[in-house]
Structure 1
Amino acid sequence: MELAHTPTHPRGGSRSSRDAAAAAETATAAGALLLAHRGGLSAGVDPAAIRELGDRLSHEFLVETLSRRFPDDAVLSEEGADDRDRLAAHRVWIVDPLDGTREFGEPGRTDWAVHVALVENGVLTAGAVAMPALGVTYSSADPVAAYPPLPAAPRVVVSRTRRPAPVLAMAAALGAPLIEMGSAGAKAMAVVRGEAEIYAHAGGQYEWDSAAPVAVARAAGLHVSRLDGSEPHYNQENPWLPDLLICRPELAGAVLEELRR
């Protein structure tokens, strides 16, 4: 199943649809900038320098673009200083300029992303995850398609390097095979695409890691929660948001039960 679309440019529609389109357009444009910069890898440029500059270029582009288009809105970026004025703002854009920095610096890898999400009065209302190396952007405005029947054994996407014990125990209890993948956005979009059924994370993330993936996953009809089943909250004073579950809704009860053991 494919839910990815190139960004649309609606002239009318609701404000939420226009915000979702703006998120998709901005994330896609930042992704194009990163792709062009990433070309330096084939020219033998130091991968560490490529990663560092890519983070900065995408951050500067996102902040400048969103601030110009929405001058009354606040922006919270992984790569920027945290302006606490955002806590009193009605609308706050939460962005991760380059999610999966390690993968971005490895030639041929596609599992890195750009995240752009909007929180209005504490509620996540729009989001987009661009996966530039795949040429797709997923948006909270994408129509919800029917998911295929669940496989006999649900698939769990996990990090290549960090595999929290609760997640491994849950996967083992469900007989779930593991799929290795890089960025949080890439993992979440694998569930949105129907290439996996469960993405569970424990052990540390921030709001920018999950805001856009959560907005897209929720719009696609997936279950979204913390590992204890509670709601994730955004634009908090401390943006630390260490755990997350995105999965097919039919599996949520069994997954949460195993995670609570």
Structure 2
Amino acid sequence: MSQDAAPTSPTAMTDAELAAHLAEVAGRLLLEVRASGVLSLKALGKAGDATANQFLVHALREQRPDDGLLSEEEKDNPERLAKGRVWIVDPVDGTREYGEERSDWAVHVGLAIDGVASVGAVALPGAGVVLRTDAPGTVPPAPERLRMVVSRTRPAREATEVAARIGAELVPMGSAGAKAMAVVRGEADIYLHSGGQYEWDSCAPVAVALAHGLHCSRIDGRELVYNQADVYMPDLLICRKEHAELVLGQVAAVGG
């Protein structure tokens, strides 16, 4: 191949293009691992996590060597705290759903800049979709009765009580990324979570939701801050901006 015909180097990609590309490729790798048919359900989750994580970590260190990195499947590194740009990834968000061959699992590739979820992509490989910050679409209008996505196994008390107060329909769903993207895609209207998460569970989804014009905050209205020494994040609210005041008010009323 001549030098003139060489493909565009990944280093020439914007951060958003890189995030989307890596999330999409990791999703395809995960589907291939699952389709191999040689792993038990328990082993499949471990193999999928390890495969996607190795790809994402090596690719990001190759393409953005000066940035920090935080992954659910990697030992934490304190040097990231001195970085203004930190990639926060979840190789398989919803390992259980992935292993059960459901569609409500995701791959998260997010970039926090000065603590703000600024760039990212969420791949939904089971649906063949990648949502990204550089290609925001229009969130479809809300129906007359609001829909709130909740855990399909452990719905949070605050979510169920708020849903009852505002007359919202509960929509059980798997991973955090799938729930957040359901709001982005207009399949739901509110994602209220109070059961505890980690930074990798929400960084990329929040970046994508913000790019689509949605409200994202803690359930008491405070801002979400990333790249902290303690990566535990107790709660999260993603919803349409016109519903934020209503939901936050009801959370306060039920003692969230």
TM-score, length-scaled by structure 1: 0.90
Q: In the TM superposition, what are the counterparts of 1:13-162 in structure 2 within 5 Å? A: 18-40=14-36, 43=37, 45-107=39-101, 109-145=102-138, 147-148=140-141, 150-162=142-154
What is the total number of aligned residue pairs between the two structures? Answer: 245
Q: In the TM superposition, what is the alpha-carbon distance from 1:44 to its structure 2 partner?
A: 6.1
Q: In the TM superposition, what is the alpha-carbon distance from 1:104 to its structure 2 partner?
A: 0.4
Matched, 1:189 2:181: yes
Q: In the TM superposition, what is the alpha-carbon distance from 1:163 to its structure 2 partner?
A: 1.0
Correspondence for 1:174 among 141, 166, 170: 166
Q: In the TM superposition, what is the alpha-carbon distance from 1:74 to its structure 2 partner?
A: 1.4
Contact kept in structure 2, 1:227 and 1:256, CA below 8 Å? yes
Query: In the aligned structure 1, how far is the partner of 2:77 from the partner of 2:235?
Result: 24
Give SS of 2:90's match. strand
Query: In the aligned structure 2, how far is the partner of 1:259 from the partner of 1:143?
Result: 29
Structure 1: tracts of 5 or more residues without a match: 1-8
Q: In the TM superposition, what is the alpha-carbon distance from 1:90 to its structure 2 partner?
A: 2.2
Query: In the aligned structure 1, how far is the partner of 2:29 from the partner of 2:137?
Result: 29
Query: In the aligned structure 2, how far is the partner of 1:89 from the partner of 1:212?
Result: 18
Give SS of 1:75's match. strand
Query: In the aligned structure 2, how far is the partner of 1:164 from the partner of 1:180?
Result: 11
Alpha-carbon distance change, 47 to 86 in structure 1, aligned in 2, over 3 angstroms: same
Correspondence for 2:196 among 193, 204, 210: 204
Structure 2: tracts of 5 or more residues without a match: 1-6
Query: In the aligned structure 1, how far is the partner of 2:38 from the partner of 2:28?
Result: 20
Query: In the aligned structure 1, how far is the partner of 2:139 from the partner of 2:227?
Result: 32
Q: One-letter code of the match for 2:77?
A: D
> Which stretch shifts more, 31-40 or 205-214?
31-40
Query: In the aligned structure 2, how far is the partner of 1:172 from the partner of 1:83?
Result: 42
Q: One-letter code of the match for 2:96?
A: R
Give SS of 2:57's match. helix
Query: In the aligned structure 1, how far is the partner of 2:205 from the partner of 2:232?
Result: 16
Query: In the aligned structure 2, how far is the partner of 1:47 from the partner of 1:34?
Result: 14
Give SS of 2:66's match. coil
Query: In the aligned structure 1, how far is the partner of 2:58 from the partner of 2:206?
Result: 24
Q: One-letter code of the match for 1:161?
A: T
Contact kept in structure 2, 1:124 and 1:234, CA below 8 Å? yes
Query: In the aligned structure 2, how far is the partner of 1:124 from the partner of 1:105?
Result: 28
Query: In the aligned structure 1, how far is the partner of 2:195 from the partner of 2:170?
Result: 18
- Could you list the per-position Cα deviations for residues 6-45 of structure 1 after superposition, in whole angstroms to 9, with x for gaps in the alignment? xxx999xxx9x811111000111111100100113xx363
Query: In the aligned structure 2, how far is the partner of 1:223 from the partner of 1:137?
Result: 20
Give SS of 1:133's match. coil
Query: In the aligned structure 2, how far is the partner of 1:67 from the partner of 1:211?
Result: 19
Q: In the TM superposition, what is the alpha-carbon distance from 1:238 to its structure 2 partner?
A: 0.4
- Could you list the per-position Cα deviations for residues 154-212 of structure 1 after superposition, in whole angstroms to 9, with x for gaps in the alignment? 00001111111111000000111111110000000000000110001011100000000
Query: In the aligned structure 2, how far is the partner of 1:233 from the partner of 1:102?
Result: 27
Query: In the aligned structure 2, how far is the partner of 1:142 from the partner of 1:154?
Result: 26
